[in-house]
Amino acid sequence: MTLKPVHLAVYDTFADWETGFATAYLARNGYPVRTVGASATEPVVSIGGLRVLPDLALDAVRPEDSSLLILPGADLWDTSEDLAPFARTAREFLAAGTPVAAICGATAGLARVGLLDDRDHTSAVSFYLAATGYGGGGRYVDADAVTDGGLITAGPTEPVAFAREVLGLLGVYEGEVLDAWYRLFHDSDPSAYAVLEKATAGR
């Protein structure tokens, strides 16, 4: 079965460490990962200095052609309106039933367009989102990562938990295998390696 691609948003100052676990294990399990920028002709530079030429322009991405939209954090989420089109695209994805995963500053971007008002969610800290003036403070959950329906949120220090939620939502790993994957990469638990190797042998 051919899987629809996962679309990873990229923009100047994107936090390159936040999505690597998720995209690596999605790609290893058959999901094409396509980068999406404001333009497909202008490269962007991450916080870590990685230069990326997006595969696609944002206006060319359709929810029906995607398995998931991933929005990493970036300084620009809090310093300009440049990334507002990515938040609006997230709204279109969720409305169409295609999931969205947002981490770090991207959660504030979603808060500003009302996407966290009626969904359980998390972020770096509650007062970070409260500063956006959003109406979802009562749905804030103090957790490493949260999935509510088709929306995943996490804070900047939780790339492994973020990936756990992504892999679980898309059915890449489930149950004890997903738990073992998380324990291996989050806790360096050697016993988890054997569980994961046995479950994924032959994939």
Told to judge if 104 belongs to the known catalytic residues of this protein, a careful annotator would answer: yes
Distance CA 203, CA 201 (A): 6
Tell me which of 104, 108, 110, 166 is the catalytic residue: 104
Contact 31, 5 (CB under 8 A): yes
79 within 8 A of 46, measured Cβ to Cβ: no
Q: Residue 187, class by beta-carbon neighbours within 10 Å (0-12 exposed, 13-18 middle, 19+ buried)?
A: exposed
The H-or-E segment that residue 8 falls in is: strand 6-9
Q: Which residues contact 90 (CB under 8 A, 6 or more apart)?
A: 69, 71, 100, 102, 109, 110, 113, 115
* DSSP 8-class letter at 65: G
CA separation for the pair 142, 163 (Å, rounded): 18
Residue 181: closest CA among 72, 24, 2? 24
Give me the active site residues, please. 104
